[in-house]
Structures are given as structure tokens and as C-alpha cells.
């Protein structure tokens, strides 16, 4: 029995130690002092702001246009002939009336000579026909006089015959004379009318031959190709000895001094811009000239103004053509090039200018109310370009109050009620310091000057 107990005691000792350890652990847990949990601090997000200051501003439209010239002519062949002289080359500058090329005009000269001969022949025939008509008219009038005399004789013979003073044979002779004279009058009238009709026919033929002669002279004139205005020759498509047909292109001439830019504007703005131009109001437009370096800051601008707005909306475009003009031909623009344009629209009252980063979606912004973000829906009225090339968006909303703090930092997690911390730029800080009382300066010192915005901060 003692031996069995001796065997059991060593085996139960580890269990006793483990039980004591567990008991001590529970005692420590129950006897520990409880501390209140530390509350979790809400994150605040660093943002920049601008104050809402409604003012009257002029929005601008960003357009893409093409440089063109209203004096742009594609010269083509007016006759079928061989190029006998070519007096210009591509790129030459010419004055109005300068001979550019000549076509072989021998066929045109022969046509003029032939037309002149036909015209002379028709003129001679018309002169002869006019003389015949005059004679026929005179003969008709004389026959009319003889008819009156014959009718008078016939009446006397008829009276005498009724009184049995005149014989039957003499009365028959008077009747015959009257009938013969009436036939003579009818024949003279027919001859006169025939000559009159032939005269009209020859006059019409003379008119046709005159037109043919003038057309031949015009074709002869078209054999010499001259510059219709001052300009630069381009797209020369002929060479000496080429045979050209009627309508074949010869060359193109453009006047770079009469330069303008065609650009499409949204139909929404077409009416107001057209009215402004008709009222004599200036509609400024800045045309960007890209420098050799890349980047918008390297662009220089040429100042012009909108001079015309088309009344027709192009099919499948949704826009209306507008035209930008200049007081004098600008340097740096080449015909056919594509340029960027900023057009200043008429001023709009009570608008606020904000950077593009302040716009969320299409027409939403956030303001700061009691340290938290609040979303507002606004009306976008256009854009405005700053002197340094940056653009601002012009907005308007009835919910804005002067002095409201509009957030200009783009936050990916922006939402209503998000806690934010305002950071002033150096310019804003200086401006605010100049307006604060000493007592207010201490409160301002708690704000952090602007360094980088947009990252989360505790």
C-alpha cells in the first residue's frame, strides 16, 4: 500500500503546481486596477481656402481655331490650252495685277477674228434688211393712197350707174380697178411685214454674234492669268508646256495681310456675342503662340477681337463659326495653322472665381462650416484666364454669403461633415495679419502656415 502511494505522489505534483499557477492568475486579474479607455481622436484633413467675394467678372471661352485669309483664291484655267509662260514660283509674293502665267492664246485669237467677221456680215445684212423694210413701208403707204383714190372713183361710177348715166362695161372696169388695188395694198403690207420680221431676226442674230464675240474676247483675256490681289503664291500645280483643260487648278494665292482666324463657339454663346458685335462692343480675343519650348507658360499671346459670328450651325458640329480679326497682320501666325484662343465674354455680375481644383464633379464645391466640409451646388458660368496663364472657374450660387470659406484643395475622400484644418497661404497670412487686432493675433498664431496641402493630419 505504501509503495502504491509513493508512486502516485510524484505523478500528482505537476498538476498541483499548475493548479496553483492558474489560481494566482485569476487572483491577479480580479485584483487589477481598471483605467478608463483612451478615446480615439478624429482625423482632420489639411485644406486651403479662399473667401467668397462676389464681383463682376468677364468669363472667357477656350477655343481652337484655324488661321485663314478671307482673300484666298484658287486660280484655275479658263480655257483649254498649253502653258506658254510661267512667271512665278511657289512662295513668291506678288502684287495685284501681276501676270502669273500665260496660256497659248492663238486659238482664242482666231475665235475672236471669226466672231468679228460673223458680226460684220450680220451687221451688213441687218442694214440691207432695214433699208428694204423702209422701202416696203413707203410702198405700202403709197398703195394705201392709191386705194383711197380708187375707192372714190368706184363710188362715183356706182352713183352714175344707178342713174343709168354710166354703161355696164365702164362700171365693171371701175369695180375691177378697186379689186386690183386692194390686192396691191395687201401685197405691199405682206412685203413690209416680211421685211420687218427678217429685220427682227437679224437683230437677234446680231445680238448672238455680239455675245459670241465678247465670249471669245473673254477667253482670250483668260489666257493671261493675273493676281486678283496682293498675296503669296502657293500650291503651284502646272509647269511650262503642260496642257490644261477648263477648270484645271493652276495655283493658289493668299493674302497674309488680310488674316483672320475661324473658330467654332458653342451655340449657347452665339446670340450674345453677335449682339455685342452689332452694338459695337469690343469682344477681346487672345491667340496663343507656342514657343519652341513646351508648356503653357512659354506661350506668348497676340491680342485680337471677334469681328463676326455666323448665323448657321454646321451640320453634325453643334457649334457656330466665329471669326477673330486683327488691326494689323500679326507676326508669328502662318496660314493654315491651328491655334488656341481665349475669348473674353461680356462681364457677368455677382460671380466668384475659384481655381479648377475647387470644383468637384461638374458643378459642386465645398465650404467650411464649423470646421467641417459642406457641399454646395453651383452654376458654372465660364472660365477666366489669369495673367500668369492659369485659369479660374467662374461660379455663382444663391447659397453663398460674402466671406464664406471655399475649399480649394482636391480631396479624394471629400464628403459632407468631413473634419478639416484650414491652412493659410503666406499671402493670406500676411493679409490677415494686417487686418487683425493684437488680441486676435494670438488666435491666428495657432494656424499652421501653408506648406503642402491635401495629406491627412492628426
Report domain extents, the chain. 50-57+348-457, 60-68+258-344, 72-104+225-254, 106-222
CA 275 to chain centre: 16
Q: Is the pTM of this model over 0.75?
A: no
**Surface-to-core class of residue 123, CB atoms within 10 Å of its CB (0-12 exposed, 13-18 middle, 19+ buried):** middle
Angle at 188 between CA 183 and CA 194, to 5 degrees: 125
The tens digit of pLDDT for each residue in 217-262 reads 999 999 999 999 999 999 999 999 999 999 999 999 998 888 899 9
Instruction: Classify domain 72-104+225-254 at the CATH topology level.
Output: OB fold (Dihydrolipoamide Acetyltransferase, E2P) (2.40.50)
* Architecture of the domain delimited by 60-68+258-344: Beta Barrel (2.40)
Q: Is the pLDDT of residue 342 over 90?
A: no
Q: Contact 391/375 with Cβ under 8 angstroms? A: no
Instruction: Give strand pairing partners of 36.
Output: none
Q: What gap in Å lies between CA 365 and CA 411, rounded to an integer?
A: 11
- Strands (E) across 5-106 are located at 44-47, 49-51, 55-57, 60-68, 72-76, 81-86, 93-94, 99-103
- Strands (E) across 207-259 are located at 224-226, 231-234, 243-244, 249-254
- The DSSP symbol for 30 reads H
**Surface-to-core class of residue 409, CB atoms within 10 Å of its CB (0-12 exposed, 13-18 middle, 19+ buried):** buried
- Give whichever of 207-221, 293-307, 343-357, 415-429 has the largest mean pLDDT: 207-221
DSSP for 294-318, written as a single string: -SGGG-EEEEEEEEEEEEEEPTTT-
Q: What pLDDT is attached to residue 333?
A: 81
The tens digit of pLDDT for each residue in 261-293 reads 999 988 878 888 898 899 988 888 988 886 544
Q: What pLDDT is attached to residue 6?
A: 52
Q: What gap in Å lies between CA 305 and CA 283, rounded to an integer?
A: 5
Instruction: Give strand pairing partners of 265.
Output: 320
C-alpha distances (whole Å) from 332 to each of 17, 18, 288, 299, 301 are 98, 95, 10, 12, 10
Please give the class, per CATH, of domain 106-222: mainly alpha
Helix/strand/coil percentages in the chain, nearest 5: 40, 30, 30
- Which residue has cell 462692343? 281
C-alpha distances (whole Å) from 317 to each of 203, 265, 313, 320, 321 are 55, 10, 7, 8, 10
Comparing C-alpha atoms, which of 238, 251, 247 is closest to residue 85?
238
Q: Is the pLDDT of residue 312 over 90?
A: no
Q: What pLDDT is attached to residue 76?
A: 94
Instruction: Give strand pairing partners of 261.
Output: 67, 324
C-alpha distances (whole Å) from 201 to each of 128, 135, 172, 211, 442 are 13, 18, 44, 16, 111
Instruction: Give strand pairing partners of 322.
Output: 263, 309
Q: What gap in Å lies between CA 458 and CA 447, rounded to an integer?
A: 14
Q: What pLDDT is attached to residue 233?
A: 93
Instruction: Give strand pairing partners of 50.
Output: 406
Matching fold, domains 72-104+225-254 and 106-222:
no
139 versus 8: the higher-pLDDT residue is 139
Amino acid at each position: 500500500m505504501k509503495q502504491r502511494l509513493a508512486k502516485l505522489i510524484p505523478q500528482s505534483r505537476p498538476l498541483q503546481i499548475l493548479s496553483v499557477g492558474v489560481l494566482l492568475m485569476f487572483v491577479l486579474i480580479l485584483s487589477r486596477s481598471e483605467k478608463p479607455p483612451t478615446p480615439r481622436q478624429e482625423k482632420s484633413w489639411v485644406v486651403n481656402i479662399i473667401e467668397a467675394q462676389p464681383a463682376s467678372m468677364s468669363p472667357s471661352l477656350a477655343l481652337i481655331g484655324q488661321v485663314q485669309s478671307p482673300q484666298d483664291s484658287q486660280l484655275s484655267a479658263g480655257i483649254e490650252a498649253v502653258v506658254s509662260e510661267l512667271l512665278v514660283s511657289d512662295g513668291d509674293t506678288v502684287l495685284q495685277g501681276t501676270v502669273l502665267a500665260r496660256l497659248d492664246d492663238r486659238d482664242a485669237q482666231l475665235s475672236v477674228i471669226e466672231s468679228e467677221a460673223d458680226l460684220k456680215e450680220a451687221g451688213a445684212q441687218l442694214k440691207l434688211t432695214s433699208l428694204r423694210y423702209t422701202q416696203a413701208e413707203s410702198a405700202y403707204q403709197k398703195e394705201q393712197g392709191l386705194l383711197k383714190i380708187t375707192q372714190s372713183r368706184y363710188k362715183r361710177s356706182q352713183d352714175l350707174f344707178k342713174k343709168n348715166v354710166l354703161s355696164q362695161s365702164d362700171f365693171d372696169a371701175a369695180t375691177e380697178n378697186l379689186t386690183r388695188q386692194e390686192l396691191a395694198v395687201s401685197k405691199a403690207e405682206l412685203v413690209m411685214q416680211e421685211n420687218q420680221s427678217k429685220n427682227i431676226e437679224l437683230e437677234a442674230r446680231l445680238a448672238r454674234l455680239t455675245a459670241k464675240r465678247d465670249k471669245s474676247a473673254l477667253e482670250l483675256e483668260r489666257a493671261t492669268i493675273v493676281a486678283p490681289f496682293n498675296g503669296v503664291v502657293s500650291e503651284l500645280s502646272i509647269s511650262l508646256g503642260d496642257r490644261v483643260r477648263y477648270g484645271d487648278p493652276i495655283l493658289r494665292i493668299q493674302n497674309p495681310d488680310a488674316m483672320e482666324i475661324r473658330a467654332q463657339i458653342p451655340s449657347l454663346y452665339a446670340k450674345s456675342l453677335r449682339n455685342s458685335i452689332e452694338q459695337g462692343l469690343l469682344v477681346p480675343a487672345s491667340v496663343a503662340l507656342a514657343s519652341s519650348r513646351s508648356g503653357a507658360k512659354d506661350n506668348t499671346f497676340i491680342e485680337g477681337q471677334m469681328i463676326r459670328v455666323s448665323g448657321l450651325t454646321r451640320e453634325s458640329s453643334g457649334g457656330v463659326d466665329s471669326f477673330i480679326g486683327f488691326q494689323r497682320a500679326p507676326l508669328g501666325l502662318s496660314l493654315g495653322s491651328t491655334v488656341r484662343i481665349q475669348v473674353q465674354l461680356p462681364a457677368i455680375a455677382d460671380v466668384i472665381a475659384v481655381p479648377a481644383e475647387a470644383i468637384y464633379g461638374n458643378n459642386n464645391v465645398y465650404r467650411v462650416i464649423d470646421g467641417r466640409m459642406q457641399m454646395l451646388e453651383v452654376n458654372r458660368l465660364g472660365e477666366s484666364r489669369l495673367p500668369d496663364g492659369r485659369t479660374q472657374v467662374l461660379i455663382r450660387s444663391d447659397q453663398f454669403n460674402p466671406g464664406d470659406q471655399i475649399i480649394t484643395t482636391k480631396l479624394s475622400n471629400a464628403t459632407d461633415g468631413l473634419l478639416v484644418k484650414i491652412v493659410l497661404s503666406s499671402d493670406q497670412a500676411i493679409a490677415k495679419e494686417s487686418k487683425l487686432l493684437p488680441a486676435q493675433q494670438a488666435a491666428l498664431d495657432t494656424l499652421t502656415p501653408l506648406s503642402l496641402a491635401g495629406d491627412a493630419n492628426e
